[in-house]
Structure 1
Amino acid sequence: MPNGFRIAAAVLSCALLAACASPRDANVQNASVGRIVAFDPAFHALVPQDARIERIADGFEWSEGPAWVARGGYLLFDDVPANTMHRWSPREGASVFLTPSGYAGTDTAGLREAGANGLEAEPSGTVLLADSGSRLIARFDPVTRRKTTLAATYKGKRFNSPNDIALRRDGAVFFTDPPYGLKGIDESPLKEQPVNGVYRLDADGAVHLLDGALKFPNGIALSPDQRTLYVGNSDPAYPVWMVYRLDARGDVIDRRVLADASDLIAAGAEGAPDGLCVSADGHLFASAPGGLLVMDADGKRLGMIETGARVSNCAFGEDGRTLFLTSHTFVARVRVNATGLGFTR
């Protein structure tokens, strides 16, 4: 197709999609964004120097919670303020998958973000869902579109607005519960929990508070051996990644600060410790001020994937060497040398 017709077609396609309140499919735009920045020579063993950051879909209010569903070969992600879940595949591009993704009622006066947030695909093909708007943890079946509540309270009080989620091989679910989904955040009259917690949900339905000392616990992920838990704290006054050593049951043996992003914020970088994912060899890919920060298991900074916008979360997908990034109004993917947990080369 001649270039002029291609541009005209892309503009028309975007206009039609916008009119239908649908995401713009970047398979039409085929745009590269941002840049790859190395802080340490070891970085390029994980992310090639010439890696292309490809925008695959855009037009969202705040994209979040990516999860690759291997049974079906597609990506699910949320637009949290829009209360909508989207689906993307290499063949079909992006489309609305579920609306509402979270809260399905009509009384939204006290909600700041009514949609679902973090997602975690299960081997069976179902998806664990941190439902910010409904204030609960659920299991979602992409085939039937049905949600089953797994936990909605701790000690008889409703959660704030569950944000992100991580699944252990034995079925235990770890999740964070900041108040971001509530209008007024910590000052919301709907807030029932006295803390913004990091929790574990056991297979029998029991909920355990692991840490109630963080102001804004956000992204969460497990190490390859499942004995270490990572949590990003989105507090501008204390922007850190915490690391928790777990016993066999999942209780915390000890905790410490893994890394601190205060200097990045002081330098003017936008963003905060948010979502994160872990590669099969234990490297952390963590949303941070400035982009997606890549660190080793000791918290040493190796490099940054910069999209030119705030990065909220990430997930490995496709053959395990594609890294998906939700970045404010768009979703991007990068081919990397690292392999995601649960994938084999």
Structure 2
Amino acid sequence: MTKTNYPTLGKIERFSNALDSLIDADELIVQLADGFKWTEGPAWDARRGRLLFSDIPNNRIHSWNDTAGLGVLLDPAGNPHGEDDLHAAPGTNGLFYESASDSILICNQDARSVDRYALESGEREAIAIRFQGKKYNSPNDVIRSADGSIWFTDPPYGLKDGDGSAGRELDVKCVYRLSADGKLDQLIADMTFPNGLALSPDEKHLYVSQSDPEAPVLRRFTIKDDGSVSGGEVWLDTKSELNEDNPGLPDGMALDTDGNVWATGPGGVWVTAPDGEALGRIHTGKATANCAFGDDGSTLYMTATDKLLRVKTRAKGIFFA
């Protein structure tokens, strides 16, 4: 058990003895900071050794590490890119650190776009802002594959009136892929509320969560050589655990080097093996929106409603292999 001077909460729940190789069942869930409105989008800035995360309603991107504590990277975090949108709520959602360019990809609610922000220069550009001339709903989570493709989800959560917003220009809520050569494809259009997404370590599979209380599931798709996807079977169904003691829906996720999926869902973060077996849960007792590995790869950071949490793991995140 890790000793800490920070407050702790929750517990580790073991569904299978296989969990023991990934996390100590007595490990403490540590509260690093609180007082936010809704935390999201954690990403580890490897060059500076810090976590970056969004506080959406407060329209900030924060930083955190043990040396400097809590800081502010961007305030305001959202950027309208010169075109105010009356339907868009301010703020940013999912983030992804691009090591090659030393930038972060930002799901920017203000412009309903995906942006790239250079951490050294502060230069920012919208790299995805329309699909066939129509505004996205509100890009929510974003990742990058080894070939330079950028994948993002587009539910309507960043619109002031959500699903019923008069500002919606697209009838569907999709998963998109922007290839390195600029080709934009609408990959998945049969999900009610696509949200978090992640790639398997070999990048042969794409995991997408669905934040729908009627169907709170995680789906897995097979990625073809041309970047399109097939399959989409339900990988994890959390409907039976959805109750007032287990707040939250499937949302963001992270993978470890062995392909285990650490996915937010009812009650906290679910740990699921590559064969789809749920091994356990990091029960935060809070609606937990997202998670990311950081430090040396064996710390899982979690954005949980108004808090930033972390827990030490025996597993190591895929970007730390």
- TM norm structure 1: 0.88
1:216-262 deviation line (CA, Å, top 9, x unaligned): 10000000000100000001111111111011221013221111111
1:106 deviates by 9.1
Determine which structure has more spread, i.e. the larger CA radius of gyration: 1
Pairwise CA distance, 1:194: 1.2
Secondary structure of the equivalent of 1:44?
A: helix
- SS in structure 2 of the partner of residue 242 of structure 1: strand
Q: Match for residue 333 of structure 1?
A: 310
Do residues 312 (structure 1) and 289 (structure 2) align?
yes
- Deviations 1:114-145 (CA, angstroms, capped at 9, x unpaired): 11110111113211111123211111112222
1:151 aligns with 2:113: no
SS across alignment from 2:241: helix
What do you get for the CA RMSD once the two structures are aligned? Answer: 1.6
Task: State the alpha-carbon separation in 1 of the partners of residues 66 and 121 from structure 2.
Answer: 22
Corresponding position: 1:342 with 2:282:
no
Q: Please, which moves more after superposition, 99-108 or 159-168?
A: 99-108
Which stretches in structure 1 are left out of the alignment for 5+ residues? 1-27
| Residue 69 (1) aligns with residue 45 (2) | yes
CA contact (8 A) 2:27 2:312 kept: yes
Do the aligned residues in 2 keep the contact of 1:83 with 1:103 (CA within 8 Å)? no
Match of 1:78 among 45, 54, 68: 54
Please state whether the residue corresponding to 1:49 is helix, strand or coil: coil
- Could you tell me which amino acid in structure 2 is paired with residue 232 of structure 1? S
Q: Distance in 2 between matches of 1:139 and 1:307?
A: 31
Would you say the 8 A contact 1:284–1:294 is kept in 2?
Answer: yes
Q: Report 1:275-294 matches (<5 A).
A: 275-294=252-271
The aligned residue for residue 20 of structure 1 is: none
The equivalent of 1:233 in structure 2 is: 210
Q: Could you tell me which of 33, 58, 61 is aligned with 2:9?
A: 33
CA contact (8 A) 2:79 2:111 kept: yes
For residue 74 of structure 2, the aligned residue among 74, 79, 98 is 98
Q: Are positions 1:43 and 2:12 aligned together?
A: no
Q: Deviation per CA, 1:298-323: give whole Å up to 9, x if none.
A: 22111010122111000001101011
Work out the percentage of aligned pairs sharing the same amino acid.
41
1:243·1:258 contact (CA, 8 Å) conserved in 2?
yes
- Counterpart of 1:23 in structure 2 is none
Q: Specify which of 20, 26, 29 is matched with residue 53 of structure 1.
A: 29
Aligned residues: 316
1:171 paired with 2:148, answer: yes
Distance in 2 between residues matched to 1:267 and 1:98, nearest whole Å: 34
Aligned partner (choices 176, 194, 197) of residue 199 of structure 1: 176
Displacement of 1:268 in angstroms is 5.2
Q: What aligned pairs does 1:259-270 form with structure 2 within 5 A after superposition?
A: 259-265=236-242, 269-270=246-247
Worse-superposed segment, 262-271 or 186-195 = 262-271
Structure 2 residue identity aligned to 1:310: A
1:148 shift after superposition: 1.3
CA contact (8 A) 2:85 2:111 kept: no
Runs of 5+ in structure 2 lacking a partner?
Answer: none
Q: Deviations over 1:134-170 (max 9, x none)?
A: 2111111122222111111111111110000111001
Distance 1:108 1:99, change over 3 A: farther
What is the SS of the residue equivalent to 1:312?
Answer: strand
User: 1:150·1:205 contact (CA, 8 Å) conserved in 2?
Assistant: no
Amino acid at match of 2:41: G
Query: 2 CA distance for matches of 1:183 and 1:117?
Result: 14
